[in-house]
Amino acid sequence: MTSAHSKRASPALRALVEADPALAALSLWCDHRDGDATCTDGSTISYGPDFETLARHEQIGVAAHHILHVALRHSARLTHLQTRLGGGFDAALYNLAADALVNETLLLAEYALPRPAVTLTGLLAEALEQDLSPQEALATWDIDRLYFALMTGEGGAGKAQDKARGYAQERSFDPDVAPSADGEGAAGDLEQDARWRQNLARAVDVGQQAGRGIGLIGHAVFDIPQPRTPWELILRRTLTRAVTVAPRVAPHRPSRRWLAGTAQAARSGGPSPGFEPGSSPLSDVPRIAVALDASGSIDDARLALFWAEVLGITRRMRAELHLLVFDDGIRYRARIEPSQTQISLPDLPRGGGTAFVPVVQEARDLGAAALVILTDLEGDPGPPPRGLRVIWAVPDAGALTAPFGQLIDLSH
C-alpha cells in the first residue's frame, strides 16, 4: 500500500461533497490509500484494483461504507473484543455484523452498493428470525449486541451462528475490517472514541442542515460507540468491596496507641489518655459464591473469560471460592481455596429449567460475602436476601433489570 493519498478513490470522494456533506466531512479524518484490496484498518481505508472496476455510483457507496467503518471505530472495537475474548472470538462474524449495520444505514440514506450486499434486516430475519423495518432494526441494534446475539442465538433462534454464516455465503460476503495493526482499541482508547463521537455529531449536524445523505437519518440509528466501563472492571470493584474485611473493634483489647500514650504519661507524670479499644486480628477468609446457570444460554467464550476473572479476584483477595452449578436445582458444588493454582472449569450439564432460590439459600448458608450468578435471568429470583450482596452477570442484558442486587452486562 502506498503512503500517498488514493488516486483510485479521489473522484468518488470529491463526489461525496455534493452527495453527502456529512460523510464528506468524516472522510477528512480518514487516511485514503491505494492498496492490494479494499478494506479498513483503524483509520486507514485501502482501495484495491477491484474498486476501479465499479460504476461511479457504486464507488461512492463503497467509499461511504468504509468511511462509516472508520467513524464508528469498528476496527478498534474488533481489536478490543478480540483481546477480551481471546480464542473464542469470531472475527468473521463480527465483520458480518458490522457490514450489515453499515449497509442498512447507507441503503436507508439512498446510497447504491455493489450487489449482493448483506443488510441488517436480512441478517436478523435469517439468523434471529426477527422481522423489523430498517428504521426499527437500526434503532434497536448495535454491533456488539448483534455479535453476541448471533453467538448465543438470542430469542430461541437456535444455530444462529450457522444461519448467519449461511446468509453471508449466500451473499458472497468478504470481511473488510481488519484488527488495528497498531493494536489501537486493545485497551479501549477512550480519547479516540470521544474524538470520533464529536466528529460524528458535527458531521451529522452538517448533513441535517443540507438535508442529504446520512444527515436525513440522524443519531438514533447510528452504531455510535458509547463510553462504557468493561464488565470485568465493574465485577472486580464490586467483589473487592464485598470481600474486604474491615477490622473489628475489640472492647477488651487496648490499642497500641493507647498503650504507648499511657507509658509516655507514666514516664512524664502527665495525664493518662482515655481508653482506646483495639481491633481483633483478621483471621476470617471471605467467601465468594459463584453460581453458573447450566440451562445452556451462556456461550463458552464468555464463560471462560468470566471464570478466569473470578479466579483472579479470589487469588488477589485471598478469598475462598464456592462454585455452584445449577438449573432447577444445584447439580455441582466445589470449594476452591485461595492457595489452589491449577483450577479448571468442570463439564457443565446443559438444559433444564432455572431456579434461583436454592442458589441464594446455599450462598446464605455458606456465609458468603457475595453471590455472583452467571445467567440469562429467565427464572423466579425469589425474595431479596438480607445481608448478601447479589451480582447478576448477564450475557446480553438489553432491557433487563436486576430483580435485586446489581446487574452486570457481559456484552459490554
Residue 249: its H or E element = strand 249-254
Domain end position, chosen among 227, 246, 268: 227
pLDDT value at 237 more than 80 = no
Please tell me the distance from the alpha carbon of residue 117 to that of residue 101, in angstroms, as a whole number: 11
Name 263's Cβ contacts closer than 8 Å, sequence gap at least 6. none
| Maximum average pLDDT range among 14-23, 145-154, 270-279 | 14-23
Please tell me the distance from the alpha carbon of residue 310 to that of residue 236, in angstroms, as a whole number: 8
Helix (H, G, I), strand (E, B) or coil at 77: helix
In a domain, 182, yes or no: yes
Split at pLDDT 50, 70, 90, the class of 264 is: confident
Q: Are residues 178 and 294 in the same domain?
A: no
Q: Are residues 172 and 302 in the same domain?
A: no
The domain total for the chain is: 2
Strand order in the sheet with 287-293: 330-336, 320-326, 287-293, 370-374, 389-394, 406-409
pLDDT digits (tens, 9 = 90+) for 103-119: 999 998 889 999 889 99
Name the least confident of 11-20, 28-37, 128-137, 263-272. Answer: 263-272
Q: Are residues 121 and 199 in the same domain?
A: yes
In a domain, 2, yes or no: no
For the full predicted model, state whether its pTM sits above 0.75: no
pLDDT at residue 186, as a whole number: 44
In a domain, 268, yes or no: no
Q: Are residues 177 and 322 in the same domain?
A: no
pLDDT digits (tens, 9 = 90+) for 269-297: 888 888 887 766 544 567 888 888 876 66
Domain end position, chosen among 207, 227, 247: 227
pLDDT digits (tens, 9 = 90+) for 317-369: 667 788 888 888 888 888 876 666 555 666 666 666 788 999 999 999 998 88
Q: Are residues 294 and 208 in the same domain?
A: no
- The CATH number that applies at residue 350 is 3.40.50
In a domain, 236, yes or no: no
- Comparing CA positions, the residue from 411, 352, 348, 355 lying closest to residue 379 is 355
Written as nine digits, the cell of 193 is 472514541
Q: Are residues 134 and 218 in the same domain?
A: yes
Written as nine digits, the cell of 144 is 456488539
pLDDT value at 167 more than 90 = yes
Domain end position, chosen among 227, 244, 260: 227
pLDDT at residue 327, as a whole number: 81
List beta partners, residue 373.
Answer: 291, 392
Give whole-number Cα distances, 392 to 86, 323, 361, 375, 396, in Å. Answer: 23, 15, 15, 7, 11
Q: From the CB of residue 265, how many other CB atoms can be counted at a distance below 10 Å?
A: 13
In a domain, 4, yes or no: no
Q: Are residues 121 and 222 in the same domain?
A: yes
| Domain span holding position 298 | 287-409
Q: Are residues 211 and 300 in the same domain?
A: no
Helix (H, G, I), strand (E, B) or coil at 341: coil
pLDDT at residue 26, as a whole number: 92
Split at pLDDT 50, 70, 90, the class of 51 is: very high
In a domain, 258, yes or no: no
Q: Are residues 210 and 352 in the same domain?
A: no
Q: What angle is formed at CA 325 by the lines to CA 322 and CA 331, rounded to 5 degrees?
A: 115
In a domain, 76, yes or no: yes
| Maximum average pLDDT range among 133-147, 233-247, 300-314 | 133-147
Please compute the mean of the pLDDT values over residues 207-221 and round it to a whole number: 71
More confident residue, 92 or 307: 92
Strand order in the sheet with 177-178: 31-34, 44-47, 39-41, 177-178
pLDDT digits (tens, 9 = 90+) for 386-402: 888 898 888 767 778 88
In a domain, 270, yes or no: no
Q: Are residues 200 and 71 in the same domain?
A: yes
DSSP code of residue 122: H
Name 314's Cβ contacts closer than 8 Å, sequence gap at least 6. 288, 320, 321, 336, 338
Q: Are residues 174 and 291 in the same domain?
A: no
Q: Are residues 83 and 205 in the same domain?
A: yes
